[in-house]
């Protein structure tokens, strides 16, 4: 039987996985996909043809929502809505709240969902359809700096509860998807971490490093199950976390068993009630599938399924059979099934290789062309520092015979993006160790760390930095210097295209590192749009003030 879903945030992460799983699951599934990125939407259209209609635009724009509803009705009905679009930004304490940014977040995470509910509920009631909202564990626990996000998700839970309280014919539910491997997580690690507690940020970085993040397909399979098949009346209007018993009992996704082995620490060290790093099992016994098509008996069927599940013990054969039935699914979920075996507990941290009492590291940061290399060069002669330029180390590695990272480094440098930290940290670790072995213990680490993960890994594994020298310089001055340098440097990135990209990376990815150390009182800021010697004197004064002569 034909079904039509409206999905927001369809271009990336969980939304993209929902679209894929839902469309692949049955040829009678139609989708109206809303997202800002037209290209991702077009790719869906190309793949699934007439079964997909797209609306490119901002979900906070009421016209966009209306257009999506109109397009869904062209298919004949609206059977489910998955309100998935959401943002985490702004991340900062309430004391520093920027109200305009909070309002913008609420427009996206909350008011757009109110709008979507208002416009779709009459149609969902006609089809006995389902409204599924993507919430968060942050809706019930507070995380430092996440006030706006948590409050919006709390409001979302309340909205869902209210929809059902106001009209018993409405099917609505709110789901926390767990800690999922999405762009939001990448932003947490690299952008927002500066405004979180170091411990909290470290937890997210460790989750990523230890492969503890859920693949997007796991929550997506749950969301699709809910949207397509519905839930028991006892769950209606509620908020549930992936892996929670209530979902196991009533639905077809069982992550609970694995969750019990994988109860993980939350971002601040507390035990999360919601399990993370789970494996997906999708239970679609053929009888259930048939029943699910009969939407008029939705709730009673689900309760029956629940009983059946209690009777049938969980077995691999059963899961594999179920995967076979899932048309989608057989590819996406099977890969989840095989690739994400629970990992053994990560090894305990060993701590940095060197003590900051024995080895002194000063990070030198600033925009491209701000003069970091020039000043470091002077300090080597005048103060006996070892100058380690991350950029120089990477350029040397790029051309080293036998290097397996050469091509990747070349591409990152040209594009002004950051080489994965494993490569750069390894090069720096070796360089520090080589010099320490020669009795040298004062380092200027130039142009590093450029990304939050690098900062944390370096300090965790090599040595804690003494402080950071930060060179402030107007962009125009840096641009002029780099274009001038480009006449003779031979560098692949001293050209206008690369420079623009490097400026962008500097603002978006590297400035959070400066903010992070600044919050710990470990940044000395210096103006550097003056003659080399003037800047040099400022640098030397700053070092003396910090006890480095």
Ligand X SMILES: Nc1ncnc2c1ncn2[C@@H]1O[C@H](COP(=O)(O)OP(=O)(O)OP(=O)(O)O)[C@@H](O)[C@H]1O
Ligand Y SMILES: O=c1ccn([C@@H]2O[C@H](COP(=O)(O)O)[C@@H](O)[C@H]2O)c(=O)[nH]1
Sheet hosting strand 3-8, strand order edge to edge: 52-56, 29-35, 3-8, 80-83, 130-134, 171-176, 239-241
Q: Residues 431, 481, 510, 514: which binds ligand X (CB under 6 A)?
A: 481
In three state form, how does the secondary structure of 162-207 look?
HHHHHCCCCEEEEEECCCECCHHHHHHHHCHHHHCCHHHHHHHHHH
Residue 472, number of CB atoms within 10 A of its CB: 13
Distance CA(104)–CA(456), nearest Å, equals 30
CB of 449 to ligand Y, least distance (A): 6
Q: Report the residue number, 21 or 513, with the smaller CB distance to ligand Y.
A: 513
In the list ligand X, ligand Y, none, the entry touching 448 (Cβ below 5 to 8 angstroms by class) is: ligand Y
In sequence order, the 6+-apart residues with CB closer than 8 A to the CB of 141 are 150, 266, 270
* End-to-end Cα spacing for the chain: 78
Q: Report the residue number, 305 or 498, with the smaller CB distance to ligand Y.
A: 498
Decide: 150 and 142 in contact? Cβ < 8 Å.
yes
Q: Tokens representing 75?
A: 């298919």
Interacting residues with ligand Y between 476 and 495 (CB under 6 A)? 493
In the list ligand X, ligand Y, none, the entry touching 371 (Cβ below 5 to 8 angstroms by class) is: ligand X
Distance CA(170)–CA(120), nearest Å, equals 11
Q: Report the residue number, 326 or 526, with the smaller CB distance to ligand Y.
A: 526
Check whether 485 is labelled as a binding-site residue: yes
Binding to ligand X by residue 531, rule CB under 6 A?
yes
In the list ligand X, ligand Y, none, the entry touching 178 (Cβ below 5 to 8 angstroms by class) is: none
Size of the site for ligand X (CB under 6 A): 17
Check whether 481 is labelled as a binding-site residue: no
Check whether 418 is labelled as a binding-site residue: yes
| Dihedral of alpha carbons 420, 425, 428, 430, sign | negative
Interacting residues with ligand X between 334 and 373 (CB under 6 A)? 366, 368-373
Q: Report the residue number, 347 or 533, with the smaller CB distance to ligand X.
A: 533
Radius of gyration of the chain (CA): 27
Distance CA(10)–CA(36), nearest Å, equals 9
- The strand pairing partners of 442, in sequence order, are 360
Distance CA(119)–CA(66), nearest Å, equals 7
Distance CA(255)–CA(263), nearest Å, equals 12
CB of 250 to ligand Y, least distance (A): 48
In the list ligand X, ligand Y, none, the entry touching 413 (Cβ below 5 to 8 angstroms by class) is: ligand Y
Specify whether the backbone of 49 is left (phi greater than 0), alpha (psi in -120 to 50) or beta.
Answer: left
Taking residues 378 to 407 in sequence order and writing x for each that binds ligand Y by CB under 6 A, - otherwise, the string is ------------xx--x-------------
Q: Residues 14, 175, 176, 413: which binds ligand Y (CB under 6 A)?
A: 413
Binding to ligand Y by residue 250, rule CB under 6 A?
no
CB of 181 to ligand Y, least distance (A): 22
Taking residues 417 to 456 in sequence order and writing x for each that binds ligand Y by CB under 6 A, - otherwise, the string is xxx----x----------------------xx-x---x--
Which 3 state secondary structure label does DSSP give 370?
coil
Which of 121, 66, 530 shows the shortest CA–CA distance to 55?
Answer: 66
Q: Report the residue number, 225 or 505, with the smaller CB distance to ligand X.
A: 505
Distance CA(165)–CA(236), nearest Å, equals 10
Decide: 421 and 479 in contact? Cβ < 8 Å.
no
Measured in degrees and rounded to the nearest 5, phi and psi for residue 29 equal -95, 125
Q: Report the residue number, 78 or 390, with the smaller CB distance to ligand Y.
A: 390
In the list ligand Y, ligand X, none, the entry touching 416 (Cβ below 5 to 8 angstroms by class) is: ligand Y
- Of 23-31, 118-126, 410-418, 429-437, the window that binds ligand Y (rule: CB under 6 A) is 410-418
CB of 392 to ligand Y, least distance (A): 6
Binding to ligand Y by residue 499, rule CB under 6 A?
no
CB of 409 to ligand X, least distance (A): 15
Binding to ligand X by residue 447, rule CB under 6 A?
yes
Binding to ligand Y by residue 412, rule CB under 6 A?
yes
Q: Report the residue number, 221 or 424, with the smaller CB distance to ligand X.
A: 424
Binding to ligand X by residue 532, rule CB under 6 A?
yes
Q: Is 546 buried (19+), middle (13-18) or exposed (0-12) by CB count in 10 A?
A: middle
CB of 497 to ligand X, least distance (A): 15
In the list ligand Y, ligand X, none, the entry touching 528 (Cβ below 5 to 8 angstroms by class) is: ligand X
- How crowded is the C-beta side of 419, counted as CA atoms within 13 Å? 25
Decide: 342 and 407 in contact? Cβ < 8 Å.
no
Distance CA(236)–CA(352), nearest Å, equals 50
CB of 461 to ligand Y, least distance (A): 15
- Of 3-11, 37-45, 160-168, 413-421, the window that binds ligand Y (rule: CB under 6 A) is 413-421
Binding to ligand Y by residue 364, rule CB under 6 A?
no
Check whether 470 is labelled as a binding-site residue: no
Which residues are annotated as part of the binding site? 369-374, 395, 417-419, 447-450, 454, 485, 491, 502, 530
**Which residues are at the interface with ligand Y (CB under 6 A)?**
368, 390-391, 394, 412-413, 416-419, 424, 447-448, 450, 454, 493, 502
**Which residues are at the interface with ligand X (CB under 6 A)?**
366, 368-374, 391, 447, 481, 484-485, 528, 531-532, 535
């Amino acid at each position: 039987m034909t079904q039509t879903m409206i999905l927001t945030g369809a271009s990336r992460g969980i939304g993209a996985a929902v679209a894929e799983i839902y469309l692949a699951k049955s040829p009678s599934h139609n989708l109206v996909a809303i997202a800002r990125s037209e290209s991702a939407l077009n790719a869906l259209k190309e793949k699934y043809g007439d079964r997909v209609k797209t609306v490119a635009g901002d979900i906070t724009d009421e016209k966009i929502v209306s257009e999506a509803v109109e397009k869904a009705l062209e298919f004949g009905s609206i059977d489910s809505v998955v309100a998935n679009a959401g943002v985490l930004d702004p991340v900062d304490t309430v004391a520093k709240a920027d109200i305009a940014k909070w309002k913008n977040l609420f427009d996206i995470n909350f008011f757009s969902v109110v709008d979507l509910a208002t416009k779709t509920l009459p149609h969902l009631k006609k089809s006995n359809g389902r409204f599924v909202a993507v919430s968060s564990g942050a809706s019930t626990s507070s995380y430092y700096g996440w006030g706006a996000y948590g409050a919006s998700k709390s409001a979302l839970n309340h909205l869902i509860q209210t929809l059902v309280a106001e009209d018993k014919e409405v099917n609505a539910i709110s789901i926390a998807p767990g800690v999922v491997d999405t762009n939001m997580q990448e932003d947490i690690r690299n952008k927002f971490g500066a405004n979180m507690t170091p411990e909290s940020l470290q937890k997210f970085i460790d989750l990523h490093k230890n492969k503890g993040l859920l693949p997007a397909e796991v929550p997506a399979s749950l969301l699709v199950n809910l949207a397509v098949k519905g839930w028991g009346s006892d769950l209606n209007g509620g908020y549930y976390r992936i892996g929670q018993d209530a979902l196991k009992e009533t639905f077809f996704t069982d992550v609970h068993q694995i969750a019990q082995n994988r109860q993980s620490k939350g971002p601040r060290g507390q035990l999360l009630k919601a399990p993370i790093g789970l494996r997906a099992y999708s239970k679609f016994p053929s009888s259930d599938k048939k029943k699910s098509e009969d939407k008029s008996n939705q709730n009673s069927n689900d309760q029956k399924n629940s009983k059946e599940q209690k009777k049938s013990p969980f077995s691999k054969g059963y899961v594999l059979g179920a995967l076979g039935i899932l048309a989608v699914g057989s590819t996406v979920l099977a890969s989840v099934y095989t690739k994400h075996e629970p990992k053994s507990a990560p090894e305990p941290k060993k701590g940095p290789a060197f003590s900051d009492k024995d080895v002194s590291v000063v990070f030198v940061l600033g925009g491209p062309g701000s003069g970091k290399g020039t000043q470091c060069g002077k300090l080597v002669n005048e103060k006996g520092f070892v100058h380690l330029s991350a950029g120089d180390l990477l350029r040397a590695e790029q051309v080293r015979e036998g290097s397996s990272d050469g091509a990747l480094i070349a591409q990152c440098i040209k594009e002004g993006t950051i080489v994965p930290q494993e490569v750069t940290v390894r090069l720096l670790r070796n360089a520090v160790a080589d010099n320490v072995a020669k009795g040298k213990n004062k380092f200027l680490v130039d142009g590093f760390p450029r990304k939050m993960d690098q900062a944390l890994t370096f300090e965790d594994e090599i040595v804690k930095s003494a402080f950071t020298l930060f060179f402030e310089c107007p962009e125009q001055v840096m641009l002029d210097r780099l274009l001038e340098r480009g006449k003779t440097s031979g560098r692949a990135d001293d050209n206008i295209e690369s420079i623009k990209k490097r400026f962008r990376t500097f603002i978006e990815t590297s400035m959070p590192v400066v903010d992070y150390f600044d919050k710990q009182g470990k940044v000395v800021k210096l103006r550097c749009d003056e003659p080399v010697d003037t800047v040099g004197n400022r640098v030397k004064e700053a070092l003396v003030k910090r006890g480095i002569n």
